[in-house]
């Protein structure tokens, strides 16, 4: 495996897990740069006015980073671990944009997406919205303070809807509602074992711990 994606809803712990794996498996970490996005805080304050601008800026940033990091991926024997994948743009756009905006957005997305490599394994960390809210509150980011469970629920449903439609790469859904891979080594080992010691076909596989 050369290209592993660790994804999840806001507050699922995807970046934390991706960093842990990259350190323990001597892998190259590819982390999403979002904190400096000038439209993020504006979007959370006024979603309707800034949704399209935010999603377009994220799409441009994600493509630029992934293209730079992964363009020579087939030449590497080492592992690259990313805490997001480009299709994340489509997931969130489907939640935040109006129908007309989404149709226009998807045209740009399809053109760009065709140029990027596909992951060898896509891992999705699933948590229920109430647990995501607790994680979000714990990390205390100012621009996330207005996120509601209803929004997180829409995002989760958008992810699952996409998974059912795609068949280009294996999707491993890990239900992490009752595990703590940060503070419990056994839980972390279970997750790593699920990722690295099993083979998955294209499509969806779900594991509940």
pLDDT (tens, 9 = 90+) of the chain, 209 residues, equals 889 999 999 999 999 999 999 999 999 899 987 657 888 888 888 888 999 999 999 899 899 888 888 776 555 558 899 999 998 999 999 999 999 999 999 999 999 988 888 999 999 999 999 999 999 999 888 878 889 999 999 999 999 999 998 889 999 999 999 999 999 999 999 999 999 999 999 999 999 99
What is the 3 state secondary structure string of the chain? Answer: CCEEEEEECCCCCHHHHHHHHHHHCCCEEECCCCCCCCCHHHHHHCHHHHHHHHHHHHHHHHHHHHHHHHCCHHHCCCCEEECCCCCHHHHHHHHHCCHHHHHHHHHHHHHHHCCCCCCCEEEEEECCHHHHHHHHHHHCCHHHCCCCHHHHHHHHHHHHHHHHHCCCCEEEEEECCCCCCCCCHHHHHHHHHHHHCCCCCCEEEEEEC
pTM of the shown model: 0.88
User: Annotated catalytic residue: which of 26, 83, 130, 180?
Assistant: 83
Structural domain tally of the chain? 1
Residue 83 among the catalytic residues: yes
Q: Which domain holds residue 153?
A: 3-208
Which pLDDT score is estimated for 29?
92
What CATH number does residue 55 fall under?
3.40.50.300
Q: What is the pLDDT of residue 77?
A: 54
């Amino acid at each position: 495996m050369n290209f592993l994606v660790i994804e999840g809803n806001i507050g699922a712990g995807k970046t934390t897990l991706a960093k842990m794996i990259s350190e323990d498996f001597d892998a190259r970490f590819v982390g999403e740069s979002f904190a400096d996005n000038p439209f993020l805080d504006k979007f959370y304050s006024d979603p309707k006015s800034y949704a399209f601008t935010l999603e377009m800026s994220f799409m441009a940033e994600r493509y630029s980073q992934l293209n730079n990091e992964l363009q020579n991926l087939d030449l590497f024997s080492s592992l690259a671990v990313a805490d997001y994948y480009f299709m994340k743009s489509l997931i969130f756009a489907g939640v935040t944009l109006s129908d007309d905006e989404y149709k226009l957005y998807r045209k740009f997305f399809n053109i760009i997406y065709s140029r990027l490599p596909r992951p060898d394994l896509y891992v999705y960390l699933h948590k229920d919205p109430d647990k995501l809210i607790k994680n979000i509150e714990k990390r205390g980011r100012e621009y996330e303070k207005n996120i509601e469970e209803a929004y997180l629920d829409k995002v989760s449903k958008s992810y699952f809807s996409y998974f059912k439609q795609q068949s280009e790469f294996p999707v491993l859904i890990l239900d992490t509602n009752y595990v703590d891979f940060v503070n419990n080594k056994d839980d972390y080992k279970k997750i790593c074992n699920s990722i690295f010691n099993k083979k998955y076909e294209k499509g969806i596989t779900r594991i509940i711990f």
